[in-house]
Amino acid sequence: MTHAGTQAITVLPGVIHYPGYYDADACRALVDQLRKIAEAAPFFTPTMPKTDKPFSVRMTNCGSLGWVSDRTGYRYQPDHPVTGRPWPPMPSELTALWQDVAADALPPEACLVNYYEPTARMGLHQDRDEQTFDAPVVSVSLGDTALFRIGGTERRDPTRSFRLQSGDVLVFGGPARLAFHGIDRLYAGSSTLLDKGGRLNLTLRRVTPKP
Ligand code: MD6
Ligand code: FE
């Protein structure tokens, strides 16, 4: 149903793309799980540190820790910034994915869920708020196709871009763990998975080092 038969493309050292890791049925099952997660932990609009400018994506999390951003900075925390409740647990589908593609790493603690409306984008950034970079970041794309851009560990490094489609998995680790990356644009209407269109992106992370 999932990984069997999926080819792995090494985009750059440390960046592995599994196109169509999840088939259409598996994508629908994940969206059903995410609907339940969003009932317990509603999507919120994060804001930029210092400027308090809203992000164009909305976010929620599952797992023991969640990534949040507001005027005071970026951080991981165990509770939802609006409801104050703990994040819902990570569904078994996602821990199974991690086992499959990141078996050598400590188990994931956070799954950030980003929702992109068709006009939303994500500027070039590094994922560097974790306390350890030993584990990769594992990402899942659902819904409309996105144009993903990736460069090197310096902002000025040359970049290349490729499309992430619904059901694709990207593993981002090793020498690329701190590479700059972002989402330039969505291809609105390229998928019928989400009733209202747009795109969901899940990123699973290990946040703390071995106890
Ligand atoms: C996105 N992804 O695909 C944004 N970060 O919507 C990320 O920011 C990302 O896909 C770290 C590793 C993989 C990713
Ligand atoms: Fe990222």
Tell me if 1 is assigned to some domain. Answer: no
**Could you tell me the distance, in angstroms and rounded to a whole number, from the CA of residue 128 to the centre of ligand 2?**
9
| Residue 132 CB contacts under 8 Å (≥ 6 apart), including other chains | 206, 207, 208, 209
C-alpha–C-alpha distance, residues 75 and 104, integer Å: 25
CB within 6 Å of ligand 1 — which residues?
Answer: 114, 122, 127, 137, 139, 148, 170, 172, 181, 183, 201, 203
In the structure, ligand 2 is a single-atom ion and the residues with CB under 5 Å from it are: 127
Tell me if 179 is assigned to some domain. Answer: yes
Tell me if 210 is assigned to some domain. Answer: no
Write the DSSP string, 176-190.
GTT--EEEEEE-TTS
Tell me if 4 is assigned to some domain. Answer: no
Tell me if 3 is assigned to some domain. Answer: no
- Nearest ligand to the CA of 177 is 1
Tell me if 14 is assigned to some domain. Answer: yes
CATH of residue 34's domain is: 2.60.120.590
> Is pTM, for the whole model, over 0.75?
yes
- Output the CA–CA distances (angstroms, integers) from residue 121 to 16, 106, 107, 181, in the order listed: 22, 30, 29, 12
Q: What are phi and psi of 9, to 5 degrees?
A: -110, 120
If one counts the domains in the chain, the total is 1
What pLDDT is attached to residue 211?
Answer: 79
Q: What is the residue-level pLDDT of the chain in tens, covering all 211 positions?
A: 456 568 999 999 999 999 999 999 999 999 999 999 999 999 999 999 999 999 999 999 999 999 999 999 999 999 999 999 999 999 999 999 999 999 999 999 999 999 999 999 999 999 999 999 999 999 999 999 999 999 999 999 999 999 999 999 999 999 999 999 999 999 999 999 999 999 999 999 999 998 7
Pocket test for ligand 1, best of 60, 121, 201, 207 (most atoms within 8 A of CB): 201
Which helix (H) or strand (E) segment holds residue 39: the answer is helix 24-40
Pocket test for ligand 1, best of 203, 205, 206 (most atoms within 8 A of CB): 203
Q: Which two tokens stand for residue 169?
A: 């998995």
- Output the CA–CA distances (angstroms, integers) from residue 10 to 70, 162, 173, in the order listed: 35, 12, 11
Tell me if 150 is assigned to some domain. Answer: yes
C-alpha–C-alpha distance, residues 122 and 139, integer Å: 14
- The residue range of the domain holding 190 is 9-205
Tell me if 27 is assigned to some domain. Answer: yes
